[in-house]
């Protein structure tokens, strides 16, 4: 590990600027203990490393190290056709493969101007909101695990997740890597039986969210460890490009479903939960309340879904060559703003294929939130950011 890895040097470029991390001075004398948390660590959500310098228990310096799961997704996509990149998007944020598919399909549809039929739009919304619910439940479960709850809330979350994964498997053929959206619609139509099962599952979800809420939200340990810890200011959050529940927990009302009006989200009535303080507890509550709002959207969508085709009739399945140009499309993925930037040169492969990873950019402020706190809180703060390494490193 080179010494520049965690060098919080006092050069002028480092210190100036309201949006730079604070400089923490150690309390006592003696050396700082330099610890590498990761890449093999029970609580780092995957292969991620944080080089921390500790003064006793307090964190003086923290530098994240990425790249342990860098799988060259962008380079592979440049050599593959547009459609061949779709299964790779599943593996970006591997909890939420359907949202990733939608973001990519949306970007290509922005590039080419394809229209998506109504039934396909409803199916996209249904699957995206189911994905959001199981992602937030798992995120809360993993946060509890890191707090020491030894897997019980995670078991509850995964119990519901399995029901949702059964739905995914029945429709798309796979539990996790669904590869379901296509440019101009969806791959397979949902039968009436599937929609009925989905309605039954959604009918059982409110009681699950109530159960988790009752179990956790007023838990003494949770409140003591999470309230007032890891506070993020709203202006720094916006400047650092934070998006998703982490941004809304600081009080900023910015949800891409309401801002960009993509898909048919305008037809559904749902609210955006906002936090006040921006600490871990706010992020936890925002995710909890977003689960409830997703259930509302699901109930409306499952009631109103019309019949019809699920694929743009003019869409070509072979020889897909968009005209030269570029497009940037983004959606509100469960982790934040997931965007795809595509440059087309008229051939069948993208010239430039870029994934805008919400998890990586949400980690920009990890340093700011963790400096000066105890090392035990670092694990919690990191867990509340809710990242997936597949997306951070691509």
Partner 1 sequence: MKTVEETKAAIEAAVPGARVEIVSNPSVSAQHSLLIAPGDALAVAKFLHDDAELALDFLSNATGVDWPDKEIAEKVKVTRTVVKTVEGVEQSVEETVEETRKRIEPGYLEAVYHLYSVAKKQGPVVIRLRTVNRSDQVELPSLTAVWRSAEFQEREIFDLYGIVFTGHPDLRRLLMWDGFKDHPMRRDYVEPDDFEYEPTAHDEVLARAVAHRNRDQRSEVRVQEDGATL
Partner 2 sequence: MVEEALKIELGKQGVFVTTIEELYNWGRRNSVWPMQFGLACCAIEMIATTMARYDLARFGAEVFRPSPRQADMMIISGTVTKKMAPQVVRLYNQMAEPKYVIAMGACAISGGPFKQGYNVLKGIDRYIPVDVHIPGCPPRPEALIEAFMMLQKKISGQHLTGADRPRHLDAAQQGEFPVPVQGAHDLEPTSNKGVWTVPVVIQ
- Buried residues in 160-187 as b, exposed as e (16+ CB within 10 A): bbebbbebbeebbeeeebbbbbbbbbbb
Segment lying near partner 2 (by CB under 8 A), choices 4-12, 40-48, 203-211, 356-364: 40-48
**One of 202, 240, 369, 380 touching partner 1 (CB under 8 A):** 240
CA–CA dist 59, 372 (Å, integer): 5
Binding map of partner 2 across residues 150-179, x = CB under 8 A, - = no contact: ----xx--xx-xx------------xxx--
* Residue 135: closest CA among 307, 388, 392: 388
Q: Say what angle helices 192-216 and 118-144 make with each other, to 10 degrees.
A: 30
CB 45 within 8 A of CB 17: no
Q: Which is nearer to partner 1, 263 or 339 (CB)?
A: 339
- Give φ, ψ of 219 to 5 degrees: -70, 130
Question: For partner 1, which is the closer residue by CB, 87 or 251?
Answer: 251
Q: Are 378 and 50 in contact (CB under 8 A)?
A: yes
Q: Give the pair of three-digit tokens for residue 359.
A: 């998890």
Residue 14 binds to partner 1 (criterion: CB under 8 A): yes
Quick one: which of 166, 175, 19 has its CA closest to 94?
175
Find all residues with CB under 8 Å of 18, minimum gap 6, and list them: none
- Minimum distance between the CB of residue 97 and partner 2, rounded to whole angstroms? 9
Residues 69-98 that bind partner 1 (CB under 8 A): 70, 72, 74-75
* Residue 81 contacts residue 348 (beta carbons within 8 Å): yes
- Asked if residue 62 binds partner 1 (CB under 8 A), the reply is no
Binder among 82, 88, 281, 340 for partner 2 (CB under 8 A): 88
Cβ-contact 140, 153 below 8 angstroms: yes
Q: How far apart are CA 192 and CA 295, in angstroms?
A: 20
Picked from partner 2, partner 1, none, the partner binding residue 39 (CB below 5 to 8 A depending on kind) is partner 2
Q: Among residues 81, 94, 272, 361, which is the contact residue for partner 2, using CB under 8 A?
A: 94
Considering only residues 215, 238, 264, 315, which one is a binding residue for partner 1 as defined by CB under 8 A? Answer: 238
Residue 324 found at the interface with partner 1 (CB under 8 A): yes
The footprint of partner 1 (CB under 8 A) covers 2, 4, 13-14, 16-17, 19-20, 66-67, 70, 72, 74-75, 110-113, 236, 238-242, 252, 254, 259, 322-330, 337, 339, 341, 343-344, 352, 354, 356, 360-361, 363-365, 393
The footprint of partner 2 (CB under 8 A) covers 39-42, 46-47, 67-73, 75-76, 79, 87-88, 91, 94-95, 154-155, 158-159, 161-162, 175-177, 389-390
């Amino acid at each position: 590990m080179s010494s520049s890895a965690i060098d919080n040097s006092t050069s002028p470029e480092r210190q100036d600027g309201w949006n730079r991390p604070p400089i923490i001075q150690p309390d006592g004398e003696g050396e700082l203990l330099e610890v590498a948390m990761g890449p093999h660590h029970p609580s780092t959500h995957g292969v991620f490393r944080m080089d921390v310098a500790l003064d006793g228990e307090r964190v003086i310096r923290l530098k994240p190290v990425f790249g342990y799961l860098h799988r060259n997704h962008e380079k592979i996509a440049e050599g593959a056709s547009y459609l061949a990149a779709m299964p790779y998007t599943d593996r970006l944020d591997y909890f939420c493969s359907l949202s990733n598919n939608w973001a990519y399909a949306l970007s290509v549809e922005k590039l080419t101007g394809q229209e998506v039929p109504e039934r396909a739009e409803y199916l996209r919304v249904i699957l995206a909101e189911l994905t959001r619910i199981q992602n937030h439940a798992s995120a809360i479960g993993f946060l509890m695990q890191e707090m020491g709850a030894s897997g019980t809330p995670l078991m509850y979350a995964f119990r519901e997740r399995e029901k949702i994964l059964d739905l995914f498997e029945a429709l798309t053929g796979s539990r996790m890597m669904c590869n379901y959206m296509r440019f101009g619609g969806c791959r397979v139509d949902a039968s009436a039986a599937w929609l009925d099962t989905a309605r039954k599952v959604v009918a059982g979800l409110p009681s699950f969210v109530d159960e988790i809420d009752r179990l956790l939200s007023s838990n003494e340990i949770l409140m003591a460890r999470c309230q007032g810890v890891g506070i993020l200011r709203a202006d720094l959050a916006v400047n650092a490009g934070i998006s998703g529940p982490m941004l809304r927990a600081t009080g900023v009302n910015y949800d891409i479903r309401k801002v960009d009006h993509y898909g048919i989200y305008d037809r559904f009535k749902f609210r955006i939960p906002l936090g006040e303080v921006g600490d871990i507890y706010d992020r936890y509550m925002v995710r909890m309340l977003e689960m409830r709002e997703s259930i509302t959207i699901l109930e409306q969508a499952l009631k109103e879904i019309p019949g019809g085709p699920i694929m743009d009739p003019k869409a070509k399945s072979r020889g897909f060559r968009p005209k030269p140009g570029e497009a940037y499309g983004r959606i509100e993925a469960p982790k934040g703003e997931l965007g795809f930037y595509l440059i087309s040169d008229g051939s069948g492969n993208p010239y430039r294929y870029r994934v805008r990873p919400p998890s990586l950019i949400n980690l920009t402020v990890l340093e700011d939130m963790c400096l000066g706190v105890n090392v035990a809180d670092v694990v919690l703060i990191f867990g509340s950011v809710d990242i997936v390494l597949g997306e951070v490193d691509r």
